Structure formats: C-alpha cells, structure tokens
Amino acid sequence: MEATIKLIKKAISAEVTASAFYSLASEVTKHDDTRMVFIELSSMEDDHAQDLVNKFKNAFSADTFDSQAYLDELIKKDEGVDVEKTNLVKNGNMKEVLEFAITMEESARDTYLKLADEVVDPTFKKYCMDLAQEEVEHAKTLSNTLDSIDMDMDDRPGL
C-alpha cells in the first residue's frame, strides 16, 4: 500500500503542477489558439486532481491516506511551477514550453500506468488506465500545437 500512496501523491502533485504550468503558459503565449489549449489543459488537470482524490477515497480507506487533505495542502502551499519552469515559460519560447509540456504529459501517463499496475481495485485500475489514455491525448494535442507553432495563423490547423 505504501507504493500506491507514493504514486497517488506523485499523481496529485503532478496534476497541480501541470495546471499551474498551463495557466502560466496561457498568460504568456501570443497565439490565441495555443492560449485556449493551455487554458483547457489547466482546467483538465484541476479536474484530474480532484477526480483522483475522489476515486481514491472511494477505493481505499481514508485511514490509509487522506488524499483530499493532501490536495488541499498542495493548493494551500501554492505548489505550482518551480522557478526553473517559470523562467522557461516567461522566456516566451513556445517551442520549449510545448516540448516540456509534452514530457509532463508523458510522465503523467507513466505514473498512471504504474498506478494501474499497483492497485487491485478494478474500478480504480480502470480509472488509472483511462487517465493514462487521456494524458496520451493531451500529449498529442500539444504535439499538434508544436508542429503548427511556426505556421501562419491562416495555415494553422484547428486545435
């Protein structure tokens, strides 16, 4: 159970960090369509964090680990983007921002796959697999955005 809790903490923390990262990136980008991608992803990551907490509470005893308290503490501490990532975003190089965002999504996918392997509860296992697939979709969206970043606005595909 200790390994599961460690992965849950990692997943919740990663969702909070990703949300803060995307929120910051949405303020910096000069492309409206890219801004909308970042805003949408930020909201999705917030939802993932809260859903993960709720699903964990349903699958496991609160005596094991209070996932809601953990999330609340991260939010209270404003556990957002670290200084290095903040500088990356504020530097304004959207290619670097998007490349880093893709690695965040891939890392989240890997965490959810490990979590799915770790847990026995079939409902929670399926939920983790679904989240892993959602992170794959996020990475694809970001890759499409990265591929089109240098295109003229009229030539950019709808994201």
In a domain? residue 158: no
Whichever domain contains 57, its CATH number is 1.20.1260.10
Q: What is the DSSP string of the chain?
A: -HHHHHHHHHHHHHHHHHHHHHHHHHHH-S-HHHHHHHHHHHHHHHHHHHHHHHHHHHHS-TTT--HHHHHHHHHHTT----HHHHHHHHHT-HHHHHHHHHHHHHHHHHHHHHHHHH---HHHHHHHHHHHHHHHHHHHHHHHHHHHTTS-TTTSPP-
pTM of the model: 0.85
In a domain? residue 40: yes
Please state the rounded mean pLDDT for residues 123-129.
93
In a domain? residue 123: yes
User: Is the separation of the CB atoms in 22 and 38 below 8 Å?
Assistant: yes
Q: What is the distance between the alpha carbons of residues 25 and 19, in angstroms, rounded to a whole number?
A: 10
Please state the rounded mean pLDDT for residues 33-53.
93
> In the chain, how many domains are there?
1
Average per-residue pLDDT for the chain: 87
> Which among 114, 97, 121 has a CA at the least distance from the CA of 7?
114
Distances (CA, A) of 92 to 26, 40, 88, 98: 11, 19, 7, 11
In a domain? residue 157: no
In a domain? residue 23: yes
**At residue 111, does pLDDT exceed 80?**
yes
Q: What is the distance between the alpha carbons of residues 49 and 42, in angstroms, rounded to a whole number?
A: 11
pLDDT of residue 62: 65
In a domain? residue 153: no
In a domain? residue 21: yes
In a domain? residue 39: yes
Indicate the pLDDT class of residue 76, thresholds 50, 70 and 90: confident
Domain with 12 in it: 2-148
The structure tokens listed for 53 are 């907490």
User: Is the separation of the CB atoms in 112 and 52 below 8 Å?
Assistant: no
The structure tokens listed for 140 are 């694809």
